[in-house]
Chain A
Amino acid sequence: MTDQTRDTWRKPPFIANPVLRYAVILGIAAYVVITAATLPLDWDRASQGLTRAARIFSGAFPPSFERSSLLIDGFLESLKIAILATFGGVILSIPIAFMAARNIAPRPIYYLGRGIIIVARSFHPVIVAIIFVKAVGFGPFAGVLTLIVYSIGFVAKMLAERIEEIDFGQVEAMRAAGAPFLSTLVYAVFPQILPRQIGLSIYQLDSNLRASAVVGIVGAGGIGATLANAFGRYDYDFALAITIVIVGVILLSEAVSGQIRKRMK
């Protein structure tokens, strides 16, 4: 047997034990079938929903730009919320990122930094917005606070990861020259993370603009509030106009931020 020429080969299976392998496959299949069978899927309601959706869409066409001043005001507010939140979020993210970088921060500080990031990330902005609307009332201020939390969750996490990837030799060189802590950060760490920092800020501005439309729906100001009001008054044509503008602005901001990030190196 061993002397035979070997001309067949199979990729080793992901789960080596065949019994376990088939048990896992069968288990997943059974679960899907049971779930589909027990979920209350009501096809009548789905078909009713279709006709209702058709009514909404027919009411939405053609989109109405009659109250465009309302739309523009909403957008300007969203833009302000996004810019303010990005600025605040990024400023706060930098120290938190340093706290959460394993190679820079002492252990207890590291856990504190990671903890802040985990808390900031664990809730969807809509949930955070609901809390802030309860806390500080309706309006753009709640939106700004929400998006600051949202920005910290993303920017601080990504920045901390970049800090953990730096070439530590440069830090070592500064230490070898007797440089104090802050000088070492400014000379050996900041230059290495700066491109990522700028890229993240631009991306976050873009992302905050998108998110500000969503959090507006739960009362945190901006274009989202305008959209929610339009829906509430069955002004589907105005709602469609708002939606079209949101999509347009987001496409535009994504193109711009993509270009900037590409140019920067």
Chain B
Amino acid sequence: MLKITSLVKRYGSGDPVLKNLDLEIAEETVVSIIGSSGAGKSTLLRCINRLVEPTSGSIVLNGTELTTLNRAGLRGARRKIGMVFQGFNLVDRLTVMENVQSGRLGVLPTWRAVMRKYPKEDIRRAYELMERVGIARYANKRADELSGGERQRVGVVRALMQEPEILLADEPTASLDPKTSEQIMQLLRDLAREFSLPVLINIHNTTEAKEYTDRIVGMRYGRIIFDAAPEALDREAMDRIYSGTPAAERGEYTPDPSFAVAAS
């Protein structure tokens, strides 16, 4: 379970990007985070694995407080947090297998990584996962030879190689065409069920958010102003999430109680 309490992120001395955010993600739920660009979705996700350093607040993943970890502790915690990126972030010039194995770099001794001496069980797991998402035949291809959808599958397998306790997906479908995008969303959803993984997805496509996720969190200028089941996301809620300017935000906004849902 992931529990975020009064999370604040401020870059420099400006207005905070995240303003006292509270969020709780239960096991095995697929949660989508929607909101206009600049709402803080990406910052929120990156605060969880501390690619972005939170200013204050607490983030607890399965009993571990992440915000106070030292370097070594943070590396240990990151191994359990899988991440999928908008631009895939694969190493283009390496093979698909090397890219997939790079998900194990957190546990693999450096010399083994350098020599490509991957443990047998890692290779077996890699083939199983690649088979599962349909990219096993590309194991020896260079990552840049694959299509967008295939590359994102490599990205997903890389994250799963970590045997993560949670999966973060930062706009995983934004660089893909509509059809492929749906396939990837379907895949994320299925994998969440198969591996009993909570998944947090930043997404711009609200139709996909409604169809493929269990819960929708709406963010606006650093605050959560909507948090409910997909059915509750109607026209009016969409307008509230996607309208407004930072100036209008200076006034206080709290989530409308009518949308509140027990985060079970």
Q: Could you tell me which A residues sit within 8 Å of B by CB distance?
A: 167, 169-170, 172-180, 182-184, 186-188, 191-192, 194-195
Contacts and interface: CB of A to CB of B under 8 A. Distances in A.
A177 B79 contact: yes
B102 A173 contact: yes
Nearest to B80: A178
Nearest to B76: A178
A167 B89 CA distance: 8
Nearest to B98: A187
A170 B108 CA distance: 18
B78 A177 contact: yes
B94 A187 contact: yes
A172 B102 CA distance: 12
Interface residues of B, number: 34
Contacts of A187: 91, 94, 98, 102, 105, 113
A178 B110 contact: no
Given A179-B106, A183-B105, A172 B89 contact: yes
Contacts of A177: 78-79, 82-83, 102-106, 158-159, 162
Given A183-B108, A187-B98, A175 B91 contact: no
A11 to B, nearest CB: 37
A176 B94 contact: no
17 contacts: A170-B89, A173-B155, A173-B158, A174-B105, A176-B49, A176-B78, A176-B81, A178-B75, A178-B76, A178-B106, A178-B107, A179-B105, A179-B113, A182-B110, A182-B114, A191-B92, A192-B92
B22 to A, nearest CB: 24
Given A186-B113, A187-B113, A178 B105 contact: yes
Nearest to A191: B93
Contact of A176 (B83, B87, B98, B104): B83
Given A184-B105, A187-B94, A187-B98, A173 B78 contact: no
B102 A175 contact: no
B91 A178 contact: no
B186 to A, nearest CB: 23
Interface of A is mostly: helix
Nearest to B86: A169
A197 to B, nearest CB: 12
A184 B102 CA distance: 9
A168 B85 CA distance: 12
Nearest to B93: A191
Nearest to A188: B91
A186 to B, nearest CB: 5
A191 B78 CA distance: 23
A10 B92 CA distance: 47
B263 interface: no
Q: What are the 9 closest A-B residue pairs judged by CB atoms, nearest first?
A: A178-B106, A179-B105, A178-B78, A169-B89, A173-B89, A178-B79, A191-B93, A176-B83, A178-B75
A175 B78 contact: yes
A173 B113 contact: no
Contact of A180 (B51, B75, B87, B158): B75
Contacts of A194: 93
Given A169-B89, A187-B113, A174 B102 contact: yes
Nearest to B104: A177
Given A180-B105, A180-B110, 18 more contacts: A167-B87, A169-B85, A172-B85, A173-B83, A173-B89, A175-B78, A176-B51, A177-B79, A177-B106, A177-B159, A178-B75, A178-B77, A179-B105, A183-B113, A186-B113, A187-B94, A187-B113, A191-B94
A168 to B, nearest CB: 9
Contacts of B79: 177-178
Contacts of A178: 74-79, 105-107, 162
Contacts of A182: 110, 114
A230 B104 CA distance: 63
B85 A186 contact: no
A173 B85 contact: yes
